[in-house]
Structure 1
Amino acid sequence: MTALTLALVAGAVVGLALGGLGGGGGSVLAVPTLIYLLGFTPAQAATASLIIVTLTSLPALVGHARDGNVAWRTGLLFAAAGIVPAMLTGTAAGHLPQTALTIAFALVAGLAALRMLRPSPARTTGTAHPGKAGAAGVGLGAVTGFLGVGGGFLAVPTLVGVLGLPMRRAVGTSLLVITANSVAALGARAGSGTHLDWAVIAPFTAAAVLGAWDGKRLSYKLKGATLQRVFAWVLLAVTAFMLADALL
Structure 2
Amino acid sequence: MTALAIGIGLVIGALVGLLGGGGSILAVPALVYLAGQDLQQAVATSLLVVGITSVVAVLPRLRERQISWRIGLLFGSAGAVTAFAGAAVNRVLPEAVTLSLFAALMVGAGVRLLQDKAATGTACTVDDGRVNWRRCLPRTLAGGLVVGFLTGLLGVGGGFLIIPVLVLALGLSMPTAIGTSLVVVAINSAAGFTAHAGEATLDVPVTVAFTAAAVVSAVAAGRLGARVDTDRLRRWFAWLVLVVAAVIATRLLVDLLT
TM normalised by structure 1 equals 0.92
Compute the displacement of 1:99 (Å).
0.9
State the SS of the aligned residue for 2:202. coil
Measured against aligned partners, the alpha-carbon deviations of 1:93-121 in whole angstroms (never above 9, x if no partner) come to 12321111211111111122112111233
Q: How many angstroms apart in 2 are the aligned matches of 1:121 and 1:90?
A: 33
Q: Quote the residue 1:185 is aligned against.
A: 192
Q: Quote the residue 1:12 is aligned against.
A: 10
Verify the 8 A CA contact 1:144 1:151 in the aligned structure 2.
Answer: yes
Note the aligned Cα RMSD (angstroms): 1.7
1:24–1:59 distance in 2 versus 1, CA, 3 Å: closer
State the SS of the aligned residue for 1:191. helix
Q: Quote the residue 2:217 is aligned against.
A: 211
2:226 matches 1:228: no
Q: How many angstroms apart in 2 are the aligned matches of 1:221 and 1:176?
A: 22
Compute the displacement of 1:217 (Å).
4.1
Compute the displacement of 1:153 (Å).
1.0
Q: Quote the residue 1:148 is aligned against.
A: 155
Aligned length: 244
Q: Which amino acid is 1:185 matched to?
A: G
Q: How many angstroms apart in 2 are the aligned matches of 1:200 and 1:213?
A: 20
Compute the displacement of 1:238 (Å).
0.5
The percent of aligned pairs where both chains have the same amino acid is 41
Q: Quote the residue 1:108 is aligned against.
A: 105
State the SS of the aligned residue for 1:190. helix
Q: Among residues 206, 221, 229, which one is paired with 1:200 in the alignment?
A: 206
Q: Which amino acid is 2:250 matched to?
A: A
1:90–1:166 distance in 2 versus 1, CA, 3 Å: same
Verify the 8 A CA contact 1:143 1:149 in the aligned structure 2.
Answer: yes
Measured against aligned partners, the alpha-carbon deviations of 1:181-201 in whole angstroms (never above 9, x if no partner) come to 111111212222x12111111
Q: Quote the residue 2:247 is aligned against.
A: 241
**1:14-93 matches, cutoff 5 A:** 14-20=12-18, 22-93=19-90
Q: How many angstroms apart in 1 are the aligned matches of 2:175 and 2:227?
A: 17
Q: Which amino acid is 2:212 matched to?
A: A
State the SS of the aligned residue for 1:165. coil
Unaligned runs of 5+ in 2: 126-131
Q: Quote the residue 1:130 is aligned against.
A: 137
**1:152-167 matches, cutoff 5 A:** 152-167=159-174
